[in-house]
Amino acid sequence: MVAFALIPFILAGVSPLSSLAAPLEGLTTTTSLKGAPIFPPLNFGLLCQLPILKDICAREASTSTQVTTPLGVAKGVSDTAGANRFAVKYASATRWAASTVATKWELPNGASDASVLPLACPQPLADPSAYAEDCLSMILYVPTTLKASSGVPTLVWIHGGSFITGSATDPGLSGSKLAIATNSIVAVIQYRLGALGLMAPNGATNLAVKDTINAINFLGKVVPSFGGQASKITLAGQSSGAGMIRALLATPSASSLFQSAILQSDPVNYGFLNVSTQVTLQSTFNGLIGCAATNKACQTSLSVDAIIDAQVTLGNEANTTDPSTGVAEPIRPVRDGTLITTPLDLTAPFPSVNKPILLSNVKNEAAPTIYGMFQSAITSDLFAPVCDVSLGADRTAIVQASPFYNLNVPDTRVPLDTLGTDYMWRCPTWSLARSWVGHGGAGKAFVGVYVTGATYPANNGIAFCLEAGSVCHQDDIYIVFGTTPNPTAAQAALTKEMQARYKAFLTTGSPNAAGLSVWSPATTTTVHAHQLGGTPSPSGEVSVGACDPSFWGAAVDYDYQVYGI
């Protein structure tokens, strides 16, 4: 469905509407030329990289501190939330070449001031002074109580942004409160985005995935110096960040680098790209930049602006070129058979697994798209045409005839939101959980749904997301990090609960902790989706609805099944 598939673009500030065959009546957008919104959501992390604001942002930290590591002396600062903060360059890479792990401790972007935050990786709609190709950096948040012998876990956060936007300085990603609450080291990492990370002209695949592997390798070397234990690394991320983690779970060579994983709002429906689709996209991209696969001099001479312009064009045209790309994340990891070796879905035999995973969604994943596109209530006659754009006639007919999406309501945006959430996020996530627990003794999966959230800045312009009871895509980030501005009692309570559950999960592989309701692990038939926040249901779980295994994934195929990816 166009409405559901567009959400990562809207959140990233990129519009793929030009890829649609025809506009739908009642559809409204705020896009202008070159796919840029007239009023793009502010990325406060990127704003802090502007020269005029760097000093102001840096004042959030004071009191220098340092730690001796095997790679040299790590210089950091004590921030206002009570933890020590260290920014560091974890790897280096020339354009479209594989990155190499850093062999010495070095501040990002040649900085001499340890309080300065790293520049983001190049991305659309960002001020060029806020990013740099030399962007393989991370920020470590370390409780001041830790000693070298503490042996605490490390949580590695991978940001979202549809693989084309985002950074370690995105809103709400200050990890101090999370580190203190979980008694862990929190590392927020960056990786090459878009074409620079996933569309190398010479055909090299998954450079961004390899960047994250190098980030984990770097952490394994240094966290013992800060009080961490290299064998206790848990990956966590939201949206495409969760998709990156799924790619790492499908990478056998990365398996020994981390012990468990937390995936928040992963758009599992898309799956990984297959090799033939990647080749098609790569050929198109090479034509757009005017450089042959072997012409390294041409590739090196390109400006970053030219690369980003070609990337945006590729994203807008990808779905027409190859429908398996979808319209929201056409540039994404590819199952190349060497690094990523399994689709981790229903299309192929599932591999044996042994890691515990925690999978969560929010109640209204699709709401930013539905309510962002349709500014006022719409009637039921628009349900089928909206569905047909992404689902096609056959799947639309099955969905429309099912009892799961009630069209007898005054506003059809309500069932469209439910359907989009089920189709893109919730139901494919539950299918993944069932497969996961069916193929490994230690491979437990815990599934949850947020019914309480905190409005993320990208959702501030969407009236529905500001209504009481709405929990839109990204509204779980502030809750987990404990960075909600002026939290309500309900938000504060859920933050306390989730941080206690994450602390338990980092330590034991289970989110169950003393004083909290029991969170049952999924089985091959029942996922036991735990309700996170709100007034507890009698069972403490959310209803299955259309995520019954006989419906989505069986009666109605996911995109990865339709396109065989």
Tell me the per-residue pLDDT of 136-172, one tens digit each, with 9 for 90 and over. Answer: 999 999 999 999 999 999 999 999 999 999 999 999 9
Q: Which one of 292, 316, 331 terminates a domain?
A: 331
Q: What is the per-residue burial (b if ≥16 Cβ within 10 Å, else e) of 328-343?
A: bbbbbbbbbeebbebb
Question: Whole-number mean pLDDT of the chain?
Answer: 90
Per-residue pLDDT, averaged over 102-117, amounts to 96
Structure confidence at residue 35 (pLDDT): 35
Write out the residue range of the structural domain in which residue 301 sits: 273-331
Q: 305 and 177: one domain?
A: no
What pLDDT is attached to residue 62?
Answer: 53
Query: Residue 34 — very low, low, confident or very high, per pLDDT cuts 50/70/90?
Result: very low
Does the predicted TM-score (pTM) go above 0.75?
A: yes
- Give the amino acid at 108: P
Domain boundary among 220, 238, 256: 238
Q: Are 199 and 76 contained in the same domain?
A: yes
Confidence of residue 536 (pLDDT cuts 50, 70, 90): confident
82 confidence band (pLDDT: 50, 70, 90): confident
Which of 290, 306, 331 is the C-terminal boundary of a domain? 331
Cα 145 from Cα 375, distance rounded (Å): 50
The structure tokens 């909600």 sit at 484
Share of the chain above pLDDT 70, in %: 89
**Number of structural domains, the chain?**
2
With 70 as the cut, is the pLDDT of residue 407 above it? yes
For position 161, what pLDDT does the model report?
97
Same domain, 299 and 206: no
The residue with greater pLDDT, 95 or 29, is: 95
Residue 38 has pLDDT above 70, yes or no: no
191 and 313 housed in the same domain: no
Is 294 found in the same domain as 191? no
Same domain, 64 and 160: yes
The dihedral region occupied by 528, where left means phi > 0, alpha psi between -120 and 50, and beta the remainder, is left
Return the closest-CA partner of residue 196 out of 288, 94, 295.
Answer: 94
The strands making up 72-79's β-sheet, listed across from edge to edge, are 61-69, 72-79, 83-89, 137-143, 185-189, 152-158, 228-238, 260-264, 357-362, 445-450, 530-532
Indicate if the pLDDT at residue 175 is higher than 90.
yes
What is the pLDDT confidence band of residue 23, given thresholds at 50, 70 and 90? very low
In a domain, 449, yes or no: no
Mean pLDDT throughout 542-559?
A: 97
pLDDT of residue 47: 52
| Helix residue spans in 227-354 (DSSP H) | 240-249, 275-289, 296-301, 304-321
Higher-confidence residue: 24 or 489? 489
Average pLDDT over residues 522-532: 97
What pLDDT is recorded for position 50?
54
pLDDT (average), residues 231-235: 98
Do 239 and 332 touch, CB atoms closer than 8 A? no
What's the CA gap between 203 and 189, in Å, rounded? 25
